[in-house]
Structure 1
Amino acid sequence: MSSMTTGTRLTTAFVKNIKQQGKYFDEGRTGLFLRIDKNIRKYWVQRLTVNGKRREIGLGAYPLVTLKMAREQAFENKRTATLGGDPLAAKRKAQSVSNFEAVMEQYLEAKLTEFRNEKHKKQWRATLDTYAVPVIGSMPVRDIQVTDVLRVLKPIWDTKTETASRLRGRIEKVLSWATVNELREGDNPARWQGNLSEVLPKPSKVATVRHQPALAQKDTGRWWADLSNRKGTSIAALRFAALTVSRSGEVRGMTWDEVDLEARHWTIPAERMKARRQHRVPLTPTLIAMLEDLPRMEGSPYVFFAAQGGMLSDMALSSVMRKMHKADLANGGRGYIDAKSGAPAVPHGLRSTFRDWAAEQGYDHVLAELALAHDVGSEVHRAYRRTDALERRRKMMVDWENFFKKE
């Protein structure tokens, strides 16, 4: 076992790279040191005199608690003790009332503002409320172990694998937040690698990836003709989404200040993109004509606005496609279904229809992926590609329109 003297100042690099069991003290007279156990797990500890008694206070595990964070907390504890207070008492009080549900609420309050949309926020809370809270909600976070996390996950791991996998990650984040805030210590029982991975089958082994049902290429012209005979804002938005192969949320959130009719492109800002990068969409003559014919609502910034001027709901485009499918079946048609799964096609599946078409037409895969706003190639490859090939994509999208609308 090794150690360092209190006169040695720890560095971020040293803390990250040291692999030898021992205690490594930091300078500063706060009693802070890094403890490394036999399994090379690293913990921050503070040796402090509180009301005349020598105590050791755990400050959390590295790297969740950084050197800077540990120093700041150690300084606060030292000041509290010097003024006659007891930092341990405050910590015990916080831990005694910190059950999982309460900590979850604190975490969500702190972190939900980082999420991109309301739907994602609701999904985060819903999975935790539905599956985790009934099982471990009343448990103090300091007491939650692997067996408790398994009681949450096992009932749905095989039948709702994707949901269970996301739930595991969300429980892990809540417990990590609790560790950083000194409400628990030790390993995170919801961690996958080297932990739950040893007792639960890999998600990929128990669940098949479900692709969004795509419109069959043979049905595109028939579907377009059906759609063109309908009226309404949601229908116009779906037509626009189909010809631009944009995501539903990108189209529903589209505002007039993003559109440049003279330059013939629509620029979606990074904060509205899944990849968090600005994306330009070429506007073909057909799309420009569609935009010029659209009504505008005074006071509403949206191109495709809801009744009161706000953004269309996230179900608006999906509802149109469901109604079209049902109506076609009712009229003796075959409906609009995915050729592989037989499931009714959905708006997002139109992007898959485009991708298959582009491949069959021999378009460069990079060009097709750029149209879909996907990451293309390695990070180095992307760094050296300085253009988004807007004009080349414009020609491809004209071909796509002609194919899509051809009966």
Structure 2
Amino acid sequence: MGDAITRVNVRRPERALSARFVETVTKPGKYFDGQGLFLRVAKNGSKQWVQRITIRGKRCELGLGSPPAVPLADARKLALENRGKAMIGGDPLAERRAMKKRPLTFAECVAAYAKAKLIEFRSEKHRRQWLSSLERLALPVLGNKLVQDISTQDVLWMLEPHWRERTATAKKLRGQVEAVLTWATVSGHRKGDNPAAWRGNLKELLPSPGSITKVQHHPSLALGDVVGWWSALALRDGTAARALQFLALTATRSGEVRGMTWDELDLENGLWTIPATRMKNGREHRVPLTLEALAILEDLPRMKGRPYVFFASRGGMLSDMSISAVMRRMQDAEVMEGRPGYLDPRIKRPAVPHGLRSTFRQWTAERGYPHDMAEIALAHWQGSEVERAYQRSDMLDRRREMMAAWATFLHGKASSVENVVSFGVSY
């Protein structure tokens, strides 16, 4: 009947733990999992992973950290690795002692800190974001230095190139470096004051962030490049490209477009009402939809049971990078053809989706549209609380005309009142 099938029975621990149990157990005691691994719960409620193991003929116990910093899956992996080392004559206990005695570099401490602490972040995205600035800005300067040798001057050298031009990023970076060095001190890898501390230290050497913070302008599209950019965008396929077109036509934010649902739309009256819960300023915002914007919506497919207008492949919201990626690919295509691409005319950096709002704002100023009407279109708060209370109208009909003219400009055509359709929504 063919080759016999050999079945291997893998012995499973009789009292294997679950992640839920590890999270909720409070009764003091020892709770065994397998591979010599058990969870020790103290009377004060603290928890620690411990592994009983025989190393070179001698039974001993190894501490493997504590949940939730070290979850059950990681503890099992460590226990298995230790068991494997011991079986081939290694000594994981001696390795750990040597590691504690050996001076660590800043890069090694960043890795150890991330392993111990970043489990506290709610998503992998937030963990990557936290590490990004350290990897780009701190590691090239401090990475190979032993943490015990890092001085205030070293941290200052790392921060100064970014402190005035990228103040918010540099301020966050300083806090991250301080946290890593605090961990290194508590873990016994360095002694003395923290060289990244602000009070009584860097505060005396660097200007206050509040005194130098500038508004960070997103690179915008030059008015002279608008028509060519729009034509190139129209040739691109995909949901993200259509979302970028819709964003440009409405002068809205990426998150507002990506989170848009069909129940926010009144296609018959050409109106998109963004609820206050999705607005940056916490106020409901009405957006008049031009014929071009409505045409995009009418051509979009719908996924049953999914609310989003511009949805990702599985029906969820588009990621925050999806629309940006379209503009980045458009820029790359221009550069490959030997052209400079779509650069901000002032700072000479490639335009980004949020910068299209600045492009729109510049266009309204040059065309002589009222300042307050343009600001309302961008959902910017106007005037004092009293002035806003009296300013009941959001100028919807007048803004509809303005947005129609903006759509005409994007297409490279002469403006005409014939392109404005009255929907009769003026309440």
Indicate the TM-score class for this superposition, using the shorter chain for normalisation.
Answer: 0.5 to 0.7
Q: Matches of residues 151-230 of structure 1 in structure 2 within 5 Å? A: 154-161=156-163, 162=166, 163-167=169-173, 198-203=204-209, 210-230=216-236
Worse overlay, 322-331 or 195-204: 195-204
Give ranges in structure 1 of 5+ residues lacking alignment.
Answer: 1-89, 91-96, 139-147, 174-188
CA separation in 2, counterparts of 1:202 and 1:345? 30
Alignment-derived partner of residue 403 in structure 1: 409
- State which of 232, 237, 245 in structure 1 corresponds to 2:238: 232
Alignment-derived partner of residue 242 in structure 1: 248
Q: Secondary structure at the match of 1:400?
A: helix
The answer as to whether partners of 2:241 and 2:326 remain within 8 angstroms in 1 is yes
CA separation in 2, counterparts of 1:152 and 1:253? 44
CA separation in 1, counterparts of 2:344 and 2:119? 38
Q: Secondary structure at the match of 1:159?
A: helix
The answer as to whether partners of 2:290 and 2:407 remain within 8 angstroms in 1 is no
Q: Secondary structure at the match of 1:267?
A: strand
- State which of 265, 268, 273 in structure 2 corresponds to 1:267: 273
- The percent identity for this pair of structures is 52
Q: Matches of residues 324-335 of structure 1 in structure 2 within 5 Å? A: 324-335=330-341
Alpha-carbon shift at residue 126 of structure 1 (Å) = 6.1
Alpha-carbon shift at residue 370 of structure 1 (Å) = 1.3
Alignment-derived partner of residue 393 in structure 1: 399
Q: Secondary structure at the match of 2:316?
A: coil
Q: Give the AA of the match of 2:375.
A: E
Alpha-carbon shift at residue 220 of structure 1 (Å) = 0.7
Worse overlay, 198-207 or 264-273: 198-207
Q: Give the AA of the match of 1:158.
A: E
Spell out, residue by residue over 1:48-81, the C-alpha distance to the aligned partner (whole angstroms, 9 max, x if none).
xxxxxxxxxxxxxxxxxxxxxxxxxxxxxxxxxx
Q: Secondary structure at the match of 1:160?
A: helix
CA separation in 2, counterparts of 1:385 and 1:170? 44
- State which of 302, 305, 325 in structure 2 corresponds to 1:299: 305
Task: Using structure 2 for the length normalisation, give the TM-score.
Answer: 0.55
Task: Using structure 1 for the length normalisation, give the TM-score.
Answer: 0.58
1:365 to 2:371 alignment = yes
Give ranges in structure 2 of 5+ residues lacking alignment.
Answer: 1-43, 45-65, 67-111, 180-195, 414-427
Q: Secondary structure at the match of 1:227?
A: helix
Q: Give the AA of the match of 2:297.
A: L
RMSD over aligned Cα, in angstroms?
4.8
CA separation in 2, counterparts of 1:247 and 1:106? 33
Q: Matches of residues 7-406 of structure 1 in structure 2 within 5 Å? A: 123=129, 154-161=156-163, 162=166, 163-167=169-173, 198-203=204-209, 210-406=216-412
* Change beyond 3 A, Cα 1:326–1:191: closer
Spell out, residue by residue over 1:171-217, the C-alpha distance to the aligned partner (whole angstroms, 9 max, x if none).
999xxxxxxxxxxxxxxx9788x997554213477776542111110
Q: Quick check: which has more Rg, 1 or 2?
A: 2
Q: Secondary structure at the match of 1:158?
A: helix
CA separation in 2, counterparts of 1:277 and 1:152? 46
Alpha-carbon shift at residue 245 of structure 1 (Å) = 0.9
Q: Number of aligned pairs?
A: 295
Spell out, residue by residue over 1:323-357, the C-alpha distance to the aligned partner (whole angstroms, 9 max, x if none).
11222333354421111122111111111100111
CA separation in 2, counterparts of 1:199 and 1:168? 13
Q: Give the AA of the match of 2:346.
A: K
Q: Secondary structure at the match of 2:161?
A: coil
The answer as to whether partners of 2:220 and 2:359 remain within 8 angstroms in 1 is yes
The answer as to whether partners of 1:153 and 1:164 remain within 8 angstroms in 2 is no
* Change beyond 3 A, Cα 1:150–1:275: farther
The answer as to whether partners of 1:254 and 1:302 remain within 8 angstroms in 2 is yes
The answer as to whether partners of 1:268 and 1:278 remain within 8 angstroms in 2 is yes
CA separation in 2, counterparts of 1:365 and 1:118? 42
Q: Give the AA of the match of 1:159.
A: P
CA separation in 1, counterparts of 2:129 and 2:368? 39
Q: Secondary structure at the match of 2:277?
A: helix
CA separation in 2, counterparts of 1:272 and 1:197? 37
Alpha-carbon shift at residue 254 of structure 1 (Å) = 1.2
Alpha-carbon shift at residue 406 of structure 1 (Å) = 0.7
